[in-house]
Chain A
């Protein structure tokens, strides 16, 4: 393992290179984001048109760099692959060091190492135990100034160190120590899980990338629009079929859409029922490794299940209603007038080619009718949202569209993505890693307690200013707690 790790070039796993790769992916994503907005979605289909209308060469650049679909382009995939490679290499190369560091604390090698730190103090036991009054003692001051410190016996050193250990533990620090040569070398640490957390987070991101790759290579998806009673083969095993038994648009009191619900049955080769259930938005139906999602709905132009019209004939005061189905006719009361439904448009618009539906959704439902009375035939449109518009049909007939029940087609999306479990594992690992990273406050304080005194240094803290404040507080606490002179 060790030998293999050495084969990874140092530059490839350096922070510098990692930052360059992240910056590259950032700029590539930014460029893709901008390209997504600038290049029209129909660029491929209408390439000739854009070639003619844009500046010379612009369409060619878009084509060459795949800017019409930037996130599937070769250059973006290359940067993404590089990001993944660096991520994995960094994790592999740092694994041993991070694992060792989180398992055991490194003890200080010597006093010089600690004295080099910007945060350190070196106090004699005499000055600590004698407290403020004792430290003012001319004998103590003179001796300390000239490097002559009073020594405590080994048993007293043990007692003093035990008190120090309690103080450090009270601040949430874990103390590891080694005794030898009339001295105790110790390291007080906290938040040691931060480094494994960082690694777990990076590993999680790598796993998510793998999950995405697996999904894009092995996953598939498809979309069908079916109305009640219709069936469609269930991919990939086309021997099974999906039948839509019912599709409902559930509305709230104010008419807002609350849910779309499809009731479906999975049929076997001989038409036997294999499974049945409902599909709602956010609640997919799963069968044989295929997820079926309630994705959309549509309604067909011209087709409707039932329409209700109200009418008033000449000389009548009140209105009466009549119901029609697609292609049927209704006799208006006891008159000779007959109204026939010709065409239904869910989102009526008038264009140069005549009436058309701007969308498959009921934004402006309109019904084309033909009224024949006494040999006179009149055609016109009735609008659900504008009942008074275009309502007179000669022959003394006044019509209004009261309601129309379109034929809905439920939009179901089939998808199979074997990368999803991998992705979810990556999300879990990265989340756990983040929690370790951000809930742990890593601090390392190292020290050496000798028979003469105590040398302590703040080696590592996440926040420079806060750590300096905390180290100062520790020093003050030690001085206060060891003060025997009152």
Chain B
């Protein structure tokens, strides 16, 4: 079991890569068979990914959120899960062409991080608030990444227009972007902001420290608050919403990798 998690991680990584190639082929040749093959490989990768997390959990005896590597793998799993949900709900395989490369970006970041497993959680992390905080934040970021991926498809469709047959209609793409953001936002608010603040109050005696990671989360939260307000008042729709979702992904990525060089209370490697 010692290295099963990393072996499964790499297996999932390569399978996601293959699924990306197949999704691209599907978008280009518009053959349903290619789409089904891409979806099947993606599903198999998701199973391996889930297995990697489970193996890590068993090996470390705690949920796999305590290091940057573990968080990156969990966050990418949340992206894959969000995509599976979108796929089940809307049955639009072509979205995989944009979501799978973003997922691979997160996995590449994970692959560059130290993978040592420790059974012992550092004292500050021994709180159930930690699990609530990290799980919800990862799921939220997963939803935001799916929104960004769908946003890329939206922009590609508007420009190219050649892949009309396999890509969903603009209305539906916009709805998926908006829905993904609206699913991610409450999860992020409750998980990253509220649960984090309550946990910080118990652990450090202050609910907010203006730590770089906290400030980064506030920036992301304010950004999506702005996106939702502008979307609601009818301004950021269509192309603007797609661009906003992509910018949101960039901010989330900056806040995530910011840990590595900004330090602060969240500097866990």
A interface vs B, CB < 8 Å?
15-16, 18-19, 22-23, 25-26, 29-30, 32-33, 36-37, 71, 212, 215, 221, 252, 254, 256-260, 280-284, 291, 293-295, 413, 415, 417, 420, 423-424, 427, 430-431, 434-435, 437-438, 463-466
CB-defined contacts of B169 to chain A, threshold 8 Å = 465
| Cβ contact within 8 Å between A281 and B205 | no
Identify 7 new A-B residue pairs, CB closer than 8 A, beyond the known A15-B229, A424-B198, A465-B175: A16-B233, A18-B229, A19-B226, A19-B233, A423-B197, A423-B207, A463-B179
- Which 9 pairs across A and B sit closest by C-beta, in order of nearness? A256-B120, A281-B123, A415-B205, A26-B222, A15-B233, A434-B186, A293-B205, A252-B120, A282-B127
Pick the contact of A260: B120, B123, B127, B223 (CB < 8 A).
B123
CA distance A190 to B193 in the complex (A): 30
CB-defined contacts of B120 to chain A, threshold 8 Å = 252, 254, 256-258
Q: Kindly provide the distance from the CB of A208 to the nearest chain B CB, expressed in whole angstroms.
A: 8
| Cβ contact within 8 Å between A463 and B175 | yes
Pick the contact of A415: B190, B206, B212, B223 (CB < 8 A).
B206
| Cβ contact within 8 Å between B123 and A258 | yes
| Cβ contact within 8 Å between A280 and B205 | no
Main secondary structure of the interface of A (DSSP, over half): helix
**Partner-contacting stretch, out of B49-57, B152-160, B213-221:** B213-221
CB-defined contacts of A284 to chain B, threshold 8 Å = 202, 205
From known contacts A29-B215, A32-B215, A438-B183, infer whether A463 and B205 are also in contact, taking CB-CB under 8 Å. no
Q: Which residue of B lies closest to A259 (CB)?
A: B123
Task: Supply 6 A–B pairs (Cβ within 8 Å), ascending by A.
Answer: A22-B226, A282-B124, A415-B205, A427-B198, A463-B178, A464-B175
Q: Which residue of B lies closest to A15 (CB)?
A: B233
Q: Is B182 an interface residue (CB 8 A)?
A: yes
CA distance A41 to B232 in the complex (A): 40
| Cβ contact within 8 Å between A466 and B204 | no
| Cβ contact within 8 Å between A221 and B229 | no
CA distance A30 to B255 in the complex (A): 11
CB-defined contacts of B183 to chain A, threshold 8 Å = 438
CB-defined contacts of B123 to chain A, threshold 8 Å = 257-260, 280-282, 294
Q: Which residue of A lies closest to B130 (CB)?
A: A282
| Cβ contact within 8 Å between A33 and B207 | no
Taken residue by residue from 194 to 212, chain B's Cβ proximity to chain A (1 for < 8 Å, 0 otherwise) reads as 1001100111111110101
Main secondary structure of the interface of B (DSSP, over half): helix
Q: Is B119 an interface residue (CB 8 A)?
A: yes
CB-defined contacts of B165 to chain A, threshold 8 Å = none
CB-defined contacts of A281 to chain B, threshold 8 Å = 123-124, 126, 203
CA distance A26 to B248 in the complex (A): 12
Which residues of chain B from 16 to 53 have a CB within 8 Å of any chain A CB? Answer: none
CB-defined contacts of A32 to chain B, threshold 8 Å = 215
| Cβ contact within 8 Å between B205 and A15 | no
| Cβ contact within 8 Å between B186 and A438 | yes
CB-defined contacts of A256 to chain B, threshold 8 Å = 118-120, 122
CA distance A464 to B210 in the complex (A): 39
| Cβ contact within 8 Å between A33 and B233 | no
Q: Is B257 an interface residue (CB 8 A)?
A: no
CB-defined contacts of A33 to chain B, threshold 8 Å = 212, 215-216, 219
| Cβ contact within 8 Å between B202 and A282 | yes
Q: Is B105 an interface residue (CB 8 A)?
A: no
Q: Is B2 an interface residue (CB 8 A)?
A: no
Taken residue by residue from 96 to 130, chain B's Cβ proximity to chain A (1 for < 8 Å, 0 otherwise) reads as 00000000000000000000001110111011000
Most buried by A among B205, B207, B218: B205
CB-defined contacts of A423 to chain B, threshold 8 Å = 197, 201, 207
| Cβ contact within 8 Å between B175 and A466 | yes
Q: Is B225 an interface residue (CB 8 A)?
A: yes
CA distance A34 to B158 in the complex (A): 34
| Cβ contact within 8 Å between B226 and A26 | yes
CB-defined contacts of B215 to chain A, threshold 8 Å = 29, 32-33, 36, 71
CB-defined contacts of B262 to chain A, threshold 8 Å = 37
CA distance A257 to B124 in the complex (A): 11
| Cβ contact within 8 Å between B189 and A430 | yes
Q: Is B172 an interface residue (CB 8 A)?
A: yes
